[in-house]
Amino acid sequence: MKIIVAIKQVPERDAQIHIAPDSRWIDEDDLNYTINEPDAYALEEALQLKEKNGGEVIVLCAGPERVASTLREALAKGADRAIHIEADDLAHRDTLSIAELLASAIKSEAPDLILTGLQSDDLGLGQTGVVLAELLGIPHATIIMQVEKASGGIRVKRELEDGWFQHVDIPLPALLTIQSGGNKLRYATLMGIKKAKSKETNTVAAGPASETALELTRVYLPEKQKQTTMLIGTPEQIAAQLVEKLKFEVRVI
């Protein structure tokens, strides 16, 4: 089974984030970056499928030169080779434009299965995987907890609401977006780090961005507001007012 895992490099979760001077994105200077956590679970799922069924795992990442470190980490964990789409303008591309970049690199590989994380830690849109599947014209399923090879394709376990799950049979090729927490993530071993240095990384140039349907015009910190409301009445009346505010204003119950 030939599996491609699309991963994204994002700032570390404890990084000190500052808004760029033009307020269009964050200031990327002096930040430490790592693999997007949901994508790490997608990689783990791919590696386990390879260990059970054989085949090849290819990691794919779009971004500037710095994403090479994230690709090396994926290779050290067990991926067989990597594809780096060189692009310095991801912050100014919308979901469709990014999915087009990935689709262009994937088509020539003709994989059996494509895995992505459910969403990214930085934007959290949760759209790239399903848009990519549509561009490639293949079936997809989201919020996947488990994948097993089955006769004629794969069987997946989807997470639904309130502790419910759904089992679906899907023909190959297909694309899955993987939910975090389904597996225990592995660490790169010393031997894996050494082997990663000799594994192939193919670098391709990104094509020009198509006209974007969505434009990010401003990034800003939430505005802090303080407001005090005094509730007056009997204990029963105050309790009723409090419940109403929690239900319709704060919307926590």
pLDDT of residue 86: 93
As a whole-number percent, the residues of the chain with pLDDT over 90 amount to: 63
Count of other CB atoms within 10 angstroms of residue 117 = 26
pLDDT of residue 26: 82
pLDDT digits (tens, 9 = 90+) for 146-171: 999 998 899 999 998 888 999 999 99
Tell me the domains of the chain and their CATH numbers.
2-205 (3.40.50.620)
Split at pLDDT 50, 70, 90, the class of 80 is very high
Question: Looking at 84-88, 100-104, 145-149, 249-253, which range is the least confident one?
Answer: 249-253
pLDDT of residue 30: 79
Cβ neighbours of residue 114 under 8 Å, at least 6 residues apart?
3, 4, 5, 6, 106, 132, 133, 136, 138, 173, 174, 175, 176
The mean of the pLDDT values for the chain is: 90
Question: Which tokens go with 227?
Answer: 């407001």
The per-residue DSSP string of 164-199 comes to -EEEEEEESSEEEEEPTTSSPPPPPPHHHHHHHTTS
Alpha helical stretches, state H, 85-168: 95-107, 128-136
Separation between Cα atoms, residue 6 and residue 106, nearest integer Å: 10
pLDDT of residue 58: 97
Residue 220 clears pLDDT 80, i.e. is over it: yes
